[in-house]
Chains A and B, each alone.
Chain A
Amino acid sequence: MSLVAERAPYAGRSSVRQWWNNGNALPYLLLLPSAVVIGVVILIPFFEALQYSFTNSSLLEVGKFVGLDNYTKLLSSKDFWNAFRFSVIFALANVIGCYILGLGLALLMNMEMPFRGFFRVALLLPWIIPSVVSIVSWRWMVADHNAVFNQIIQLFGGRPIFFLSNNDWAQFIVVLIKIWRSFPFMMLSLLAALQGIDRSLYEAAALDGATKWKAFWHVTLPQIRDVSIVLCLLMTIWSVNDFDTPFLLTQGGPANSTENFVLLAYKYTFARNDLGTGAAISFVTLIILMVFIVIMLRRQREA
């Protein structure tokens, strides 16, 4: 027994040395810097924020432990459900709008056409322009009855629409601008997927007498299905997390109609100096997003 006890550490050291000498440690060593950075930049703030969400902390002082108070207060507040409603509308409309526009343009860009290279670059512009520049420019185009949008509407005999003053129109315009900012990513990714489809599948479909529509429905869509699912999930996550578009365009107004989770968390943390509830909103958002993230990771693994 004592022999075993004395030999065991030696055997352990030996196997570690062997493992080390075989070069097995190299991947871990290479990963170490990234793991440290992730730990410092993501994990520490993550657990600190989680801890805050169970306290009545403000920006200036760490408060007392209040259990689930912030979460229960949040779930019973009108603000939260208003933000939930808009976040759902915003994400759904953006994903659907982006997908339809992105796929349509990707199909066009996949065809032989004049100036295709120019259009490919031009269509990426909304994605490249810094958000502050593009959203403020959009604001100028819609805020007033003399703005470009209303000039066009009036040119066709319509009455000016005060896009940022009416709850429904404000929601519409926030979604529209988000779609405009996001579709190039969708288009680019779908174009890459379309170019990866084996041409022989279309030839076989043509030999079977399939029309273009049938080929699209039975060949193209199934072939880009996995990419599409991942893209839609990513777009959902980015929509729920979007701060720039509603903040720069409407600041969540009018009458809180365009306030999403991120804006609400910002409002609680900075305007109301209620760090605990602000952190709680962030974690509720995270839990909602986790559902999408898990689905996405599973899809990626299956693919």
Chain B
Amino acid sequence: MKSKMAVRRRTTLAFALLAATSVLGISGSASAETVKLQFWDMIWGQPEYIKAAQKIVQDFNKEHPEIQVEYRSIPWSNWYQTFVTAVSSGSAPDISTGAGYQAVQLYKMGAIRPLDGMIEKMKADGDLNDFAPGTVETLRFDNHYVSLPWGLDIRLWYYRPSLLKAAGVEPPKTWEEFRAAAKKLTADGKYGVVASGDTGGSHYVLSSMLNNGGGMFDADRKLTLSSNDRNVEALEWLSGIVADGSMHPASPGYSADDRRATFFRGEAAFSLDSPNIYKQAGAVSDDIAVLPPMQGPHGDTGTIFWVNNIMMYKQTKNPEAAETFVRWWSQNELPLWTEGHTGQIPARQSFLKDAVAGDDRYKYIVDNYIPIGKTTATAYKGIFPALSEVEGEGVLQTLTQQIFQGVPVKDALPQAESRIQEILNK
């Protein structure tokens, strides 16, 4: 009886120990060595993008049983709040992709772990030469590489060939021709141009200023929004389109989705948007063409572009494993284009051939728009943390809405100028 009880006690003890060890996660040596990483990826395309990205992560996990990456899709709405709240509450991911100036802004807040070591290794083995010229350096701030480029985003003008043909209008090559074409195309409830009042709408303002050889900053990073005549001239051009009645009147209240829907429905002939947008247009996709880069009144060309990137967070407990993933992701992300059809242009030049295969419009954008792309920081070389707030805080959206409402440029500019200066002074 006594021995039976002793056996039962020992068995119970053994089960208890087993349960305790499995709860504590120390039941096997394999799981003890597994590193878990959180990867937050912005939604850079249609639903197929998420599937392609998830598959890349699965492939990584299979190839690296010692590192298991958990993939999470992050929507763009309120992205800034999502990341700042996560960082401030100590629940930031190990790695994330993000908007053009996100890494540099979060770095200034002390949330980003620079990728200097990894980039030095990539320099040494020649991998860095694969990136589009200048893109890696764009993400250098405070003598640190705050992130690694993966995609280039750019804004370009699209038009509806059927509408232009019906009105006997040739695709415009200059601003003057564009304004005249927009005016001619405005009739019977249809408009020459459609825009929006959100962040996507503010790209009309930024793109026009850069197209005209202007820019919000000078080489010393001083604000020149209203003191640079080229900027004022660009805003006057947009203002003129509104005054002609060629801008869709709903534009100040439109979101990017509203704007696209209007353009796809053929209710406007011109729209500024990101690469690959025609792939969302369904049946009218073939009736959307890329307008060749237009010349401003002084013969300049240019548009706004961003170097989107992948970054590592200071909160990661496994920086080496995170670095391994970042580099692997960068080298194996081609399916984001071939299967995920993302609208980004690959930062790696070796991906370009496969990414543009069979898509002439995409190839045209890569060949003709990427070389004239300029950052929001233009004419300053490089980027800086305040750019994220300048673009996302709402001041440029308000300026854009006012221009599209028909508020004179001279009345709208001072308010925007003083608010941006406030951001820069912080």
Contact = CB atoms under 8 A, between A and B. Distances in A.
A270 B81 contact: yes
B253 A273 contact: no
B254 A267 contact: no
Given A59-B88, A271-B392, A162 B189 contact: no
A156 B183 CA distance: 28
Contacts of A78: 415
A162 B195 CA distance: 14
B197 A165 contact: yes
A262 interface: no
Interface in B80-133: 80-81, 84-85, 87-88, 109-111
Nearest to A161: B249
A256 B389 contact: no
A284 to B, nearest CB: 19
Contacts of A252: 394
Contacts of A256: 394, 398
A218 B253 CA distance: 47
Contact of B405 (A163, A166, A272): A166
B342 interface: no
B250 interface: yes
B253 A270 contact: no
Interface string A136-148: 0000000111000
Contacts of A144: 250, 258, 262
A171 interface: no
Nearest to A144: B250
A157 B335 CA distance: 53
Contacts of A167: 405
A254 B393 contact: no
A165 B249 contact: yes
Residue of B78, B252, B254 with most chain A CB atoms under a 10 A cut-off? B252
Interface string A231-258: 0000000000000000000111111100
A58 interface: yes
A254 B242 CA distance: 16
Given A60-B87, A144-B262, A255-B405, A273 B389 contact: yes
A254 B85 CA distance: 27
A253 B389 contact: no
B253 A164 contact: yes
Interface in B226-249: 249
A166 B197 CA distance: 11
B252 A254 contact: yes
A165 B393 contact: no
Contacts of B392: 271
B239 to A, nearest CB: 14
A176 to B, nearest CB: 15
B253 A165 contact: yes
A190 interface: no
B344 interface: no
A81 to B, nearest CB: 13
A253 B253 contact: yes
B253 A163 contact: yes
Interface string B54-74: 000000000000000000000
A135 interface: no
Given A270-B84, A271-B394, A272-B389, A253 B252 contact: yes
B193 to A, nearest CB: 14
Interface in A249-290: 250-256, 267, 270-273
Interface in A44-89: 58-61, 78
B93 to A, nearest CB: 16
A164 B196 CA distance: 11
A186 interface: no
B401 A255 contact: yes
Contact of A255 (B78, B110, B389, B407): B407
Contact of A60 (B110, B197, B402, B405): B110
Given A163-B253, A254-B197, A255-B401, A271 B110 contact: no
Contact of A254 (B111, B401, B415, B423): B401
B401 A272 contact: no
A169 to B, nearest CB: 9
Given A60-B87, A254-B197, A170 B407 contact: no
A250 B197 CA distance: 10
A59 B393 CA distance: 15
B251 interface: yes
B189 A145 contact: yes
B153 interface: no
Contacts of A267: 393-394
Contacts of A272: 389, 393, 423
Contacts of A253: 197, 252-253, 397-398, 401
Given A144-B262, A164-B250, A271 B389 contact: yes
Contact of A170 (B110, B253, B262, B404): B253
A237 to B, nearest CB: 25
B273 interface: no
A60 B397 CA distance: 25
A58 B250 contact: no
A60 to B, nearest CB: 5
Contacts of A58: 109
Contacts of A251: 198
B254 A255 contact: no
A165 B250 contact: yes
Contacts of A162: 249-250, 252-253
A164 B258 CA distance: 12
Given A144-B258, A165-B253, 17 more contacts: A59-B85, A59-B88, A60-B87, A145-B189, A162-B249, A164-B254, A165-B250, A165-B252, A166-B405, A250-B253, A253-B197, A253-B397, A254-B197, A256-B398, A270-B78, A270-B81, A271-B80
Interface of A: 58-61, 78, 143-145, 162-167, 170, 250-256, 267, 270-273
16 contacts: A59-B87, A59-B88, A60-B88, A144-B250, A165-B253, A165-B404, A165-B405, A166-B252, A253-B197, A254-B197, A254-B401, A255-B252, A267-B394, A270-B78, A270-B84, A271-B80
Interface of B: 78, 80-81, 84-85, 87-88, 109-111, 189, 197-198, 249-254, 258, 262, 389, 392-394, 397-398, 401-402, 404-405, 407, 415, 423
Please name the 4 residue pairs, one residue from A and one from B, whose CB atoms are nearest each other, closest first.
A164-B253, A165-B253, A165-B252, A254-B401
